[in-house]
Amino acid sequence: MPLGPGPQEEAQAPQEPQAPEPAAATGPQKAIGAALGRRPRGLLAIALAGVVVLVMVLGPLAVKNLGLPGEQGQASAQALETVLSGDDPLESVVEVAGRPGVVPVVSLKGALTPATSLHEDLLVEGTGRTVSQGDAVLLSISTFSGLDGRNTTGTETGASLRTVMLDDALGEELDKAIEGKTEGSRVVLRAPHEEDGELTTEITVIDILPTVATGEEREPTSGMPAVTIDKDGAAQISVQGLSAPTTSSITTLVQGQGPQVGRDDLLIARYSIVNWSSGQISGTSTYGSTVLPRSIDMRNTLAGVSQLLVDVPVGSRVVLALPADQARGEDAVAVVIDVLAIASRDDAPALSLILTHRPRR
């Protein structure tokens, strides 16, 4: 049962750094180039396809807010006179500020010559679950120029949000950069890239965001549906012994610390719906470590959801009891929702809008 429709000013680049031509593409470079679906041309034939294409290949979503506390940063764009090697240690060439889930602030210490291979640095190690092959992941991706530090992601907010499965389709090197990391981690990739006819190193910041509610657990409310989450992340909802609701109600099981949901927002979430009369799941649950989170359009979802989710903080898990006229008009339902992120509508067509269909009038 779905919940969706119904649920800079550019800086002057420095003169081209005097550096030797990069070596021919290595095996890993070719693998990433193939994964990104880019055909090298000219100078790109001897340099790694820019990791910025990662955003396009993954089908990006501009992020309105990813739900973690803090101010969204903007890269400091300025022309740099110092020239540094793109192969130098990360801390000697660039500073990346901000916490995972917030658009990073990148400050270059000099214009970067092209790296000779892909470099991966774990900047922040998260405390969430460890990501494995076949798992669903929620990524926030930002890319930056190695010439002046400009944010080159191409979205209004400077970040892109995407849910993907961790598998071979990502390409060996990208897959490797994410596999084994924990949710809440920030990974920085550096790879050779051509920008405005100059070879440099592109910086890609990848935040591996939580795919379940995070925050303070609350005691369940008496008289509301009971929710349990098993070790594989699947949700079970029980309405046994409870009378069907005649009015809509909501209770918080996990209190998130992110921004509050607005009535016009587009959400990334996990959810499951149970029919009150049968106690059975309606449609397909989006809970589970190998199941992709989906979207909820607050403008076009169940009436009870659109009303009760307003002001709920991102990171929360809530359970709703909805009478038939606040669901689909056929049966009362219980709904559990993990609110993971708020996305921009710029790339809404790339989303799978699931929690939909308003009740029959």
CA atoms of 342 and 234, how far apart (whole Å) = 22
- 230 and 204 housed in the same domain: no
Round to the nearest angstrom and report the end-to-end CA distance of the chain.
18
- 226 and 341 housed in the same domain: yes
The range of the structural domain enclosing residue 137 comes to 83-209
- 203 and 237 housed in the same domain: no
Residue 243's pLDDT is what? 96
Count Cβ atoms below 10 Å from residue 95 Cβ, excluding itself.
14
DSSP state of 251: E
- 194 and 88 housed in the same domain: yes
- 121 and 197 housed in the same domain: yes
Residue 6's pLDDT is what? 42
- 200 and 229 housed in the same domain: no
Cα dihedral 66/69/70/74 (nearest 10): -10
Query: Within a domain: residue 59?
Result: no
Please state the domain count of the chain.
2
- 195 and 267 housed in the same domain: no
Query: Within a domain: residue 27?
Result: no
CATH number at residue 301: 3.10.50.40
Q: What is the pLDDT along the chain (361 residues), one digit of tens a residue?
A: 557 544 333 333 334 444 444 444 443 334 333 333 333 333 333 333 333 334 333 444 444 445 444 343 343 444 478 999 999 999 999 999 999 999 999 999 999 999 999 999 999 999 999 999 999 999 999 999 999 999 999 888 888 888 999 987 777 878 889 999 999 999 999 999 999 899 999 999 999 999 999 999 999 999 999 999 999 999 999 999 999 999 999 999 999 999 999 999 999 999 999 999 999 999 889 999 999 999 999 999 999 999 999 999 999 999 999 999 999 888 999 999 999 999 877 655 455 444 554 433 3
Rg (CA), the chain: 22
CA atoms of 184 and 171, how far apart (whole Å) = 22
DSSP line for 338-360: EEEEEE-STTGGGS-B-B--PPP
What are residue 61's DSSP bridge partners?
Answer: 161
Candidates 352, 300, 358; CA nearest to 136 is 352
Candidates 116, 120, 115; CA nearest to 173 is 120
CA atoms of 160 and 234, how far apart (whole Å) = 27
